[in-house]
Structure 1
Amino acid sequence: MSQPSSFSRRRAATRIAAITAALCVPLAAHSADYPTRPVRVVVPYSPGGATDVAARLVSNKLNGILGQSFVVDNRAGATGTIGTNMVVRSEPDGYTLLANDTTYAMLPSLFTQLPWDHAKGLVPITTLMTTPMLALVPANSRFKTLADLLDYARANPGKLNFGSGGSGSSIHLAAELMNSQAKVSMTHVPYKGGGDAMAALVSGQIDMLMEVPATAVGQIAGGKVRALAISSTQRLPLLPDVPTFAQSGMPDYKVTSWFGMSAPQGTSPEIVAKLRKAIQAALAEPDVRRRIDELGAQPGGIESADYAAMIVRDTQLWGGVAKKIGLQPQ
């Protein structure tokens, strides 16, 4: 059999080099030109909730900043795992993103097995906003302060109850953490959703509810519920008469709910960085900041590495709370 000539070998090497270059250039161009078509932002919950509000607020601004439509797609179900799994299994090209919240850090405590690697399935981009939690009671409640509520609860273990949007939900575990730190025992009453739990509080069916300001402010302003304390380090300008937990005798209770944006594992660092910078620009817009203030929240925009570290930290925190109360994963 004859050997290939040196000319043939050179021509083959040239072709291989050309093919390699052709494969690499579009990848680099893809990251530089991104986005070149509409981007889907999956919200793993129903429309109208705080995660949905945050996603739409920022997506509307990204339309102009990046020159393509960012379309919010609500895919609710199974505590957010249906929509999340959809994003995890999507192509890591930056055209399918996930808007999620603190509940993501609680999922390992709620399910014995998730259909993706919780620690590696997503690339955190940045936070959209963060918000404290409020301790709420019905407007006609006998309890005027958090100390009143906790003193009664200590003297009457198990007599008071608190509601939530479901076992293992963020407002459930936030209340359980308060109970643990305050060394009180209140009975948990789970509802099908946060809206049902708020309705139960308004009607006096439950004694207490933890909730984010975005959901509670309207009920407070309408005189239907009373806020006893807020978990931020300072009082909110939106609710100047509501003391912090620290001012109410619980300095270690500093629960924060976060809302953020993530991409499938494997998304290029260049695309992640471009999205983070665009989100930071969106959050700097005066009308966006004004709306976030109205929700009783603070704008996000932290570095991707810091967001990833926060998810790890909160996963450990809520895992400990779930274990302490004996929450059984499904």
Structure 2
Amino acid sequence: MKTLVQSRLTIRRLLLPFLCFVSVTAAAQTFPSRPIKLVVTYPPGGSSDLMARIMGQKLSVFWGQPVVIESKPGAAGSIGMEFTARQPADGYTFVVGNLGPAAVNPLISKVPYSMDKDFIPVALTATGPNILVVPASSPFKTLADMLAAARANPGSLNFGTSGPGSMAHLGGELIMRQAGIKMTGVAYKGGGLAVNDLLAGHLHMMVSDALPVSQFIKTGKLRPLAITSAKRSPMTPDIPTFAEAGLPGLIAENWWGVFLPAGTPQAVVDSYHAALDKVMADPDLKERFAGLGVEAMATSQDEFRTFLAAETAKYTKLVSDNRIKGD
């Protein structure tokens, strides 16, 4: 009897890996069989939220299952990332993370998640340049004008930010480092508040993503001086790059990508890739993303990992050199 029991236990141990494989494979083949949560780490109405809703609509059609937007704003995007990291690793919750919570926040604050241990990077899904803007009443007609004024009176010029580690803050720091100038950052609780003060003439300049400032550029209330992409954007072809404007080497694009909780089966990750490859190439989605000032895409996992490593290295140096700390 003892020998029989031992034999059965041995057989079960031998079969366990096979049974687990069959279970995971079956789950992947039927994925998704119920609604999926798409976590947004910023408040409704911003670039991240609008892109997520467009993407979610397309994925719902592709998968034949509802994709439900779940807003988890706060702590510069960290709350939504932590929420996602704690969800079951079954593919039914994913997050659109961007530069802030996925690369910068862990460098300047103690965040309750690890990008290396708690997430699977699936694909880079969008990139978008930032624009250096000044009020229409500003005496600065070009980037060279602004840099000359900053060099003549160190610390006299200010720039608006939406807090430590925000792209507006990092953009200002990059300009100072690349140009060898000194300016004063003014932090606000949100980018919209900074744009309002810029329009009122209380700020000299701001580095902003395209969505909050594009309407004011079109109406002539704000003047663009340079764009942070490596080449001119087809969405704003009249705005020179920083290199063209006289400050080579300054490239700082915002980006967004899809992340799943660590432990999600590779077969489910592959299902995400198949879906993203399809929907991110959809002409309607690409046009709607372009209207937000960003370019839609869907990279491979390896390409996304390489991109993340380069971004982390870049901003690690910037944060270290300038002793940038979170709130």
- Aligned equivalents of 1:59, 1:161: Cα separation in 2: 39
* Conservation of the 8 A alpha-carbon contact between 2:127 and 2:254: yes
Q: Say whether the 8 Å CA contact 1:230–1:243 is kept in structure 2.
A: yes
Structure-2 residue corresponding to 1:116: 113
CA distance in 2, matches of 1:81, 1:271: 25
Residues 315 and 19 of structure 1: CA distance in aligned 2, closer, same or farther (over 3 Å): closer
Counterpart Cα distance in 1 of 2:212 and 2:280:
21
- Decide whether the 8 Å contact of 1:54 with 1:259 is kept in 2: no
Q: 1:30-41 to 2 correspondence within 5 Å?
A: 30-41=27-38
- Taking structure 1 as the reference length, what is the TM-score of the superposition? 0.93
Instruction: Say yes or no: does 1:143 pair with 2:144.
Output: no
Per the alignment, in what secondary structure is the counterpart of residue 82 of structure 1?
helix
The verdict on how the C-alpha distance between 1:124 and 1:19 changes in structure 2, with shifts beyond 3 A counting, is closer
Q: Is the 8 A contact 1:38 1:68 kept in 2?
A: yes
2:105 aligns with 107
What is the distance in 2 between the residues matched to 1:178 and 1:163? Answer: 13
Q: Pick from 320, 323, 328: which aligns with 2:325?
A: 328
Q: Post-superposition shift, 1:101?
A: 0.7
- What is the one-letter code of the residue matched to 2:28? S
Change (3 A) 1:148 1:22: same
Q: Which residue of 2 is the match for residue 287 of structure 1?
A: 284
Q: Which protein shows a greater Rg?
A: 1
CA distance in 1, matches of 2:308, 2:224: 28
Using structure 2 for the length normalisation, give the TM-score: 0.93
Match of 2:75 in 1: 78
Q: Counterpart in 1 of 2:297?
A: 300
CA displacement at 1:138 relative to structure 2: 0.6
- CA gap of 1:100–1:12, structure 2 versus 1, over 3 A, is closer
Tell me the equivalent position of 1:59.
Answer: 56
**Could you tell which deviates more after superposition, 298-307 or 232-241?**
232-241
Instruction: Name 1:205's counterpart in structure 2.
Output: 202
Deviation of 1:162 after TM superposition, in Å, equals 0.2
The question of 1:318 aligning with 2:315 is answered: yes
**1:178 alignment partner in structure 2:** 175
How many correspondences in the alignment? 326
**SS of equivalent to 1:246:** helix
Question: Which amino acid letter does the alignment assign opposite residue 191 of structure 1?
Answer: Y
Alignment partner of 1:217 is 2:205: no
Deviations along 1:233-265, one digit per CA (max 9) or x if unpaired, are 332233232111111012201111101110011
Amino acid at match of 1:28: T
Task: Give, in angstroms, the shift of residue 179 of structure 1.
Answer: 1.2
**Can you list the C-alpha shifts for 1:279-314, whole angstroms capped at 9, x where unaligned?**
121111111111122222211211112212222221
Deviation at 1:17, TM superposition (A): 6.8
Segments of 5+ residues of structure 1 without an aligned counterpart are none
Amino acid at match of 1:27: V
Q: 2: distance between equivalents of 1:85 and 1:196?
A: 26
Which digits, 9 at most, give the CA deviation of each residue in 1:182-222, with x for residues without a partner? 11111000001011111111111100100111222112112
2:262 is matched with which residue?
A: 265
Name the aligned partner's letter for residue 137 of structure 1: V
**Whole-angstrom CA distance in 2 between matches of 1:184 and 1:199:** 25
CA distance in 1, matches of 2:299, 2:175: 27
SS in 1 for 2:68: strand
Against the structure 1 CA distance between its residues 240 and 15, is the aligned structure 2 distance closer, same or farther, given a 3 Å change threshold?
closer
Q: Supply the AA of the counterpart residue of 1:90.
A: Q
The Cα shift of 1:72 comes to: 1.2
Contact 2:228 2:241 in 1 (8 A): yes
Cα 1:151/1:264, change in 2 over 3 Å: same
RMSD: 2.0
CA 1:328–1:11 in structure 2 vs 1: closer, same or farther (change >3 Å)?
closer
Q: How does 1:7-22 map to 2 (within 5 A)?
A: 22=19
Distance change (3 Å), C-alpha of 1:24 and 1:152: same
Would you say the 8 A contact 1:130–1:259 is kept in 2?
A: yes
> Which residue of structure 2 lines up, in the alignment, with residue 234 of structure 1?
231
Secondary structure of the 1:210 match is: strand
For structure 2, list consecutive stretches of 5 or more residues without a partner in the other structure: none
